[in-house]
């Protein structure tokens, strides 16, 4: 039986499933096709074992770090996730307030149900995630809008030339509830950009899906970087050679990601490629990763393999569904407390003490 106050992220997940509609739950929880990658993202962490140091003074721990010059209380950011108002009416604004209170980073999805302008007020350190669209004027308008709102970085997702096939959504005939809007695109509609007015917000989502451009190349990333003076973060890297290309076009950070298992099913689990990618790029860019993180020990393993920070996805939605802003804040607190304890038990008083000697892969 789950207690009234969850003590870990798995209990939040159970409570959230009971509170969300079937359509909303499946949209958040599902992966592509057979969900092999979705499940392997989580299972992969169990393929790694920790080698703790003993007799180290860990009476005080320091989890603080900086990412792109931004100070964080822990090496954690919130991944970009669409449609957060499905979980709570305050949606992305509640998440932003929780991250601001906790001192960690946040990346806002283009497909957010609260606008960048609203979210930036709640957390002025927010990054903006986007895709490069067929209509380059739309891309430019989104970038300029995010910059005007105070976004601290542009996070371009590169693993979605088409949307992955998520069969739970197909079965449910997923649509956004009436009254829920794609706030950033609606903002651009109001500015007379050539965005069609289709019936209902799901029509606007269909328009977005049509705008995904399968012809995007590395040259387009260089163009994107030229639009505004913001750091470029490339999200969706799974290969060392692609990581090197991202560095060559000027990416200040890359995010090792398989889109939470929602794009190519059968893609490698993210934790399994961290060390290879870090070795390929060295200190030329900051390397982050997401996918399957549910415990503080997962974060410790990712850092030991070379990631500078991690991004948390679905557990934030579970916290949002259970208790809104308070739930998100508690999810962050649980992870931070677990990481602090895992560091202490591994003989690490600060993040700089975490290195590759702490972790090995099971044979």
Chain segment 243-259, per-residue pLDDT in tens: 999 999 999 999 999 99
Task: Say how many residues make up the chain.
Answer: 363
Active-site annotation holder among 101, 133, 197, 259: 259
Please list, residue by residue across 266-289, b when 16 or more beta carbons sit within 10 angstroms of its beta carbon and e when fewer do: ebbbbbbbbbebbebbeeebbbbb
Residue 262 is assigned to a ligand binding site: yes
pLDDT digits (tens, 9 = 90+) for 101-140: 999 999 999 999 999 999 999 999 999 999 999 999 999 9
What are the Cα distances from residue 66, in Å, to 96, 105, 311? 18, 10, 14
Active site residue 259: yes
Residue 145 is assigned to a ligand binding site: no
Residue 121 is assigned to a ligand binding site: no
Strand pairing partners for 130? 156
Residue 290 is assigned to a ligand binding site: yes
- Those residues whose C-beta lies under 8 Å from the C-beta of residue 113, and which sit 6 or more positions away, are 82, 83, 84, 85, 86, 91, 92, 180, 181, 182, 183
pLDDT digits (tens, 9 = 90+) for 188-241: 865 656 666 554 445 667 778 889 999 999 999 999 999 999 999 999 999 999
Would you tell me the crossing angle of helices 136-149 and 218-227 to the nearest 10 degrees?
40
Residue 311's Cα: distance from chain center in Å? 5
Residue 237 three-state SS:
strand
Give the predicted TM-score (pTM) of the model. Answer: 0.96
d(C-alpha 69, C-alpha 127), whole Å: 13
Residue 82 is assigned to a ligand binding site: yes
CA angle, 55 as apex, 54 and 56 as ends, to 5°?
Answer: 95
Tokens of 269: 């689990």
Given this model, what pLDDT does residue 363 score?
A: 77
Tokens of 231: 């750091």
Domain definitions of the chain by residue range: 9-349
Tokens of 208: 């977005």
Average pLDDT, the chain: 94
Residue 171 is assigned to a ligand binding site: no
Given this model, what pLDDT does residue 222 score?
A: 93
d(C-alpha 104, C-alpha 75), whole Å: 8
DSSP 8-state symbol, 267: P
The domain over range 9-349 is classified in CATH as 3.20.20.70: yes
What are the strands, taking DSSP E only, across the chain?
48-50, 65-67, 70-72, 76-78, 105-108, 127-130, 154-157, 232-237, 253-256, 286-290, 309-312, 359-361
d(C-alpha 275, C-alpha 321), whole Å: 34
């Amino acid at each position: 039986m789950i207690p009234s106050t969850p003590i870990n992220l798995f209990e939040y997940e159970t409570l959230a499933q009971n509170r969300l509609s079937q359509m909303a739950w499946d949209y958040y929880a599902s992966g592509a096709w057979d969900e092999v990658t979705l499940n392997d993202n989580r299972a992969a962490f169990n393929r790694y074992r920790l080698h703790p140091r003993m007799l180290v003074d860990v009476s005080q721990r320091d989890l603080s770090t900086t990412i792109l010059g931004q100070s964080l209380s822990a090496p954690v950011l919130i991944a970009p996730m669409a449609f957060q108002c499905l979980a709570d009416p305050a949606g992305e604004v509640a998440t932003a307030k929780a991250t601001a209170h906790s001192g960690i980073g946040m990346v806002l999805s283009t497909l957010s149900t609260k606008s960048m302008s609203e979210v930036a007020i709640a957390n002025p350190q927010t990054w903006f995630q986007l895709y490069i669209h067929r209509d380059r004027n739309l891309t430019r308008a989104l970038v300029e809008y995010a910059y005007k709102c105070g976004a601290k970085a542009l996070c371009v997702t590169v693993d979605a030339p088409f949307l992955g096939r998520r069969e739970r959504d197909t079965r449910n005939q997923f649509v956004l509830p009436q009254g829920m809007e794609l706030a950033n695109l609606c903002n651009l509609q109001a500015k007379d950009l050539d965005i069609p007015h289709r019936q209902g917000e799901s029509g606007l989502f269909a328009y977005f899906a049509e705008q995904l451009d399968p012809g995007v190349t590395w040259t387009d990333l260089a163009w994107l970087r030229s639009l505004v003076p913001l750091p470029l973060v490339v999200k969706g890297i799974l290969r060392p050679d692609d990581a090197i290309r991202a560095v060559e076009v000027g990416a200040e950070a890359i995010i090792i990601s398989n889109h939470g298992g929602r794009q190519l099913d059968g893609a490698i689990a993210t934790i399994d490629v961290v060390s290879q990618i870090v070795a390929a790029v060295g200190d030329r860019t900051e390397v982050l990763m997401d996918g399957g993180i549910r415990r503080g020990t997962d974060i410790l393993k990712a850092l030991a393999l070379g990631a500078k920070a991690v991004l948390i996805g679905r557990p934030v939605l579970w916290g949002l569904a259970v208790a809104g802003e308070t739930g998100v804040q508690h999810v962050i607190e649980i992870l931070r407390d677990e990481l602090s304890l895992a560091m202490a038990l591994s003989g690490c008083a600060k993040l700089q003490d975490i290195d590759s000697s702490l972790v090995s892969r099971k044979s």
